[in-house]
Structure 1
Amino acid sequence: MASVTGSSEETDQQVVATPSAPAAKPDIKQTMADLDALLGIEDKPEEEAPQESKPADAGSGKITISPDVLRALAEAEAARAEKMGSAASSGEMQSRITDSIERIVEQAKKMAEEEGKSTENRSLGEEAVRKELNNLYTALASDKKGVDPEDLKKIKEQVFGATTFWVTETRPLAMQTLELGVAVRGNLRGKREAVFKEVCEKVAAMFGDKYVVRLVEDPEASLEDMNMGGGSDGAPPEPRVLFEILPASAAQPQATVGWQRAAAAVLLVLTLGSTLQFGLAANIGLLPKETLQWLANPANLNSDMLPPGLETFDPVPFLSSTGNVFMVTLLPQLLHELAHAAVASSRGIKIAPSFLIPNSQLGTFGSVTQLKSMVRSRTDLFDFSAAALVAGGLASMGLFLAGLAASHGGGTPEPGLLPVPSQLFQGSLLLGGIAKLGLGSEALSHAQVYVSPLLVGGWCGLVTTALNCLPVGNLDGGRTMLSAFGRSSLAVSSLLSYVGLGLGLLGSSLALPFGLYVLICQRTAETYIQDEVSGVSERRRAIAGALIAFAIITLIPMAPEVADVAAVGSPSNFI
Structure 2
Amino acid sequence: MAFWFLLLLGLATYLMVQRSVASITRTPVWLLWLVLMTPALILSGWTLMYGVKQPPPPTLIIWPSVICLLLYWLLFQWGRQTPTQTEARLQAKESSATRPPAEPAPVRPIEPAEETQLRNCFPWATYYVQNIEYRPQAVVCRGQLRTAPSQAYQQIKANIESQFGDRFLLIFQEGFNGKPFFVLVPNSQAVKEVNTPHKQEKLTRPGLAILLLAATLVTTTLVGAKIAGVNPTTLESNPSVLLKGLPYALGLMTILGIHELGHYLTARFYKIRSTLPYFIPMPFFLGTFGAFIQMRSPIPNRKALFDVSIAGPIAGFVATLPLLIWGLAHSELVPMTEKTGLLNPDALNPKYSILLALLAKLTLGSELTSKLAIDLHPVAVAGFLGLIVTALNLMPVGQLDGGHIVHAMFGQRVAMTIGQISRLLLLLLSLIQDEFLFWAIILLFIPLIDEPALNDVTELDNGRDILGLLAMVLLIVIVLPLPQAIANLLQI
TM-score band by shorter chain is 0.5 to 0.7
Say whether the 8 Å CA contact 2:125–2:146 is kept in structure 1.
yes
Q: C-alpha separation between the residues in 1 aligned to 2:191 and 2:303?
A: 19
Q: Is the 8 A contact 1:147 1:247 kept in 2?
A: no
1:442 Cα deviation after fit: 3.4
Counterpart-to-counterpart distance in 2, 1:345 and 1:149: 39
Residue of 353, 356, 360 corresponding to 1:435: 360
Q: Could you tell me which runs of 5 or more consecutive residues in structure 1 were left unpaired when the two chains were aligned.
A: 1-67, 84-89, 91-139, 174-178, 221-238, 288-294, 296-305, 413-418, 569-575
- Residue of structure 2 equivalent to 1:376: 300
The 5-angstrom pairing of residues 173-184 of structure 1 reads 173=135, 180-184=137-141
**How far 1:528 sits from its partner (Å)?**
4.1
Q: Between Structure 1 and Structure 2, how many residues are aligned?
A: 382
Distance 2:134 2:451 in 1: 17
- 2:319: which partner in 1? 395
Q: CA deviation at 1:334?
A: 0.4
Instruction: State yes or no: 1:281 paired with 2:281.
Output: no
Q: Deviations over 1:154-178 (max 9, x none)?
A: 110x2113222221111135xxxxx
Q: Tell me the amino acid that sits aligned with residue 196 of structure 1.
A: Y
Aligned to 1:155, which of 118, 124, 128? 118
1:335 matched to which residue of 2? 258
What SS does structure 2 have at the residue aligned with 1:375? coil
C-alpha distance in 2 between matches for 1:425 and 1:249: 51
> CA–CA distance in 2 between the matches of 1:277 and 1:252?
47
User: Any idea what the Cα deviations from partners look like across 1:431-470, whole Å, max 9, x if unmatched?
Assistant: 1232023213534567664554432222211221111111
**Higher deviation after alignment, 336-345 or 486-495:** 486-495
What corresponds to 1:243 in structure 2? 182
Counterpart mapping for 1:58-97 below 5 A: 82-83=102-103
After superposition, residues 355-374 of structure 1 pair within 5 angstroms as 356=279, 362-364=286-288, 366-374=290-298
TM alignment of 1:145-544, pairs within 5 A? 145-156=108-119, 158-173=120-135, 180-220=137-177, 239-249=178-188, 272=217, 275-284=220-229, 316=240, 318-352=241-275, 356=279, 362-364=286-288, 366-406=290-330, 420-443=345-368, 449=374, 452-505=377-430, 511-520=436-445, 522-544=446-468
Q: Which residue of 2 aligns with 1:29?
A: none
- Maintained 8 Å contact 2:117/2:163: no
Q: Is the 2:212–2:280 Cα contact (8 Å) retained in structure 1?
A: yes
Higher RCO (Cα < 8 Å, 6 or more apart): 2
Q: Deviations over 1:478-532 (max 9, x none)?
A: 1011001222332222123322443454995653444444444x42433141011
| SS at 2:141 equivalent | strand
| Counterpart-to-counterpart distance in 2, 1:341 and 1:281 | 32
Kept in 2: contact 1:147–1:246 (CA 8 A): no
Q: Determine the C-alpha separation between the residues in 1 that align with 2:308 and 2:462.
A: 17
Q: Using the TM superposition, give the Cα deviation of residue 533 of structure 1 relative to its aligned residue in structure 2, in angstroms.
A: 0.6
Give the counterpart letter for 2:124 in structure 1: A
Q: Secondary structure at the match of 1:423?
A: coil
TM-score with structure 2 setting the length: 0.66
Could you say if the C-alpha distance between residues 274 and 425 of structure 1 is closer, same or farther in structure 2, counting changes exceeding 3 Å? farther
Q: Do the aligned residues in 1 keep the contact of 2:346 with 2:376 (CA within 8 Å)?
A: no
Identity %: 26
Q: Distance in 1 between matches of 2:280 and 2:426?
A: 18
Unaligned runs of 5+ in 2: 1-87, 193-199, 336-343
Q: TM-score, normalised by structure 1?
A: 0.57
Is contact 2:394–2:401 with CA below 8 Å preserved after alignment?
A: yes
Partner of 2:300, secondary structure, is strand
Instruction: Give CA deviations for 1:144-201 in whole Å, capped at 9, x if unaligned.
Output: 2523333332110x2113222221111135xxxxx51111111223332212111101
Residues 356/492 of structure 1: CA separation in 2 closer, same or farther (3 Å cut): farther
Shift, 1:423, TM fit:
2.8
Shift of the 321–152 alpha-carbon distance from structure 1 to 2, 3 Å rule, reads farther
Give the alignment's Cα RMSD to 1 decimal.
Answer: 4.1
Secondary structure of 1:212's counterpart equals: strand
1:215–1:530 contact (8 Å) kept in structure 2: yes
In structure 2, relative to structure 1, the CA distance for the partners of 1:186 and 1:492 (3 Å cut) is closer
Q: Is the 8 A contact 2:426 2:436 kept in 1?
A: yes
